[in-house]
Structure 1
Amino acid sequence: MVMKLYFRPFACSLAARIAIEEAELDAEFVAVPADGRLPDGRHFSQLSPMGYVPAIETRGGFVLTEGPAVLTYIAELAPEGSLSFTGFSDAHYRMLAWLNFISTELHKAVFAPLLGKSASPEERTAALTRVARPFDMLARHLEGREFLEDRFTVADAYLLSVLNWCEHSGVAIADWPVLLDYRTRLRKRPSVARAMAEEWPLLKAA
């Protein structure tokens, strides 16, 4: 049984696809339709009770959800630690901190209200005001850096996937030139370019 990644085009699950591409892991990619009905007849809620992507179904049938956990799992499958750092190292725990920072301060606090259909105008306005503090911090950190840490990790894959949402959510990434440059550079990385090229036609057709 091949590992399966359940995804929606250009959702946060793009980070998991990028990580799989970067690590050259074998995986089947299963698009989750709007109605949640999977090709095998199951409903996606049987795998992900909250209905969120990404979800990974391992070769042994174990199902893992929640983006940071999925990305950490893929990083640990990657050969020679190519997407992470040695456990119990400072860099390893900084990477985990970045995954949680992106999940809470950006994904949920800013972009979920801006891209969701249920947020009120007041909630959207509040979300736009919240972007400055984490973006300012990221811009300071990435000044003169190529990646969040010493090399590309799953945290970079996640941040790139979230930064892709800026224009569609009304966030003016150009106001943070360091972040715009970071996103532009990462989009040229082969694993990122391949992952985006696979999902772009699916997004256009949705």
Structure 2
Amino acid sequence: MTDQTPPEREIGVGPWEGLWPTDADGALPAHLDPQLLREGDRRNVLDQYRYWRHEAIVAELDTRRHGLHVAVENWGHDFNIGSVIRTANAFNAAAFHIVGRRRWNRRGAMVTDRYQHEHHHPDAAALARWAGSAPRRDGGVGLPLVGIDNLPGSVGIEGHALPVECVMVFGQEGPGLTPEVLAHCEAVLHIEQFGSTRSINAGAAAAIAMHAWVRQHVHGLPA
């Protein structure tokens, strides 16, 4: 009987083969990392960023960040926080915000938090103050807080026109958003469900909500 176990897929690339790239002056381009060129690049990044310095990747992402901020309440050291942050990276959110405990469970982020801008707010009031004074890309000031939770009185995110610049706020698995955060939200939206479960996993719900914003403000699709 032969072993049918498929070979483990290799992540990333090995050392650069051949002569290293050079710029017009014959020097190594500033965005490339000599250590990665020598040893290989096994990071969780797109192929277009292979061998790039970490700082160069962040700088390039900064040139095209979206107007969406993502905030997560961190009262229970929830593993799902990392999943939310990883999705925020995938959609190139402007920044992510941790509300509550400064230390949070980073395992689910798969190191993607290193390529984003992180802000900490000790409580909901501090987040609201930051959002109220945050500069807007249109020259104005203030970003609305949009809570995502399936609470009585919440509105379905399907068909809801999301602000082009805003802070989406997510609660921890189980309890959801606290009353303190809800008091500062301009709107509270839920994701339509049709089965027997009371709620969707917090990480999955965050991904759906962020993609709803992307559909409207990146792809230009109707709400």
Q: TM-score range with shorter-chain normalisation?
A: under 0.3
**Bigger Rg, which one:** 2
Give the structure-2-normalised TM-score. 0.25
Give the structure-1-normalised TM-score. 0.26
Q: Which has the higher contact order (CA 8 A, sep 6+)?
A: 1
Q: In proportion to residue count, which structure has more strand?
A: 2
Q: In proportion to residue count, which structure has more helix?
A: 1
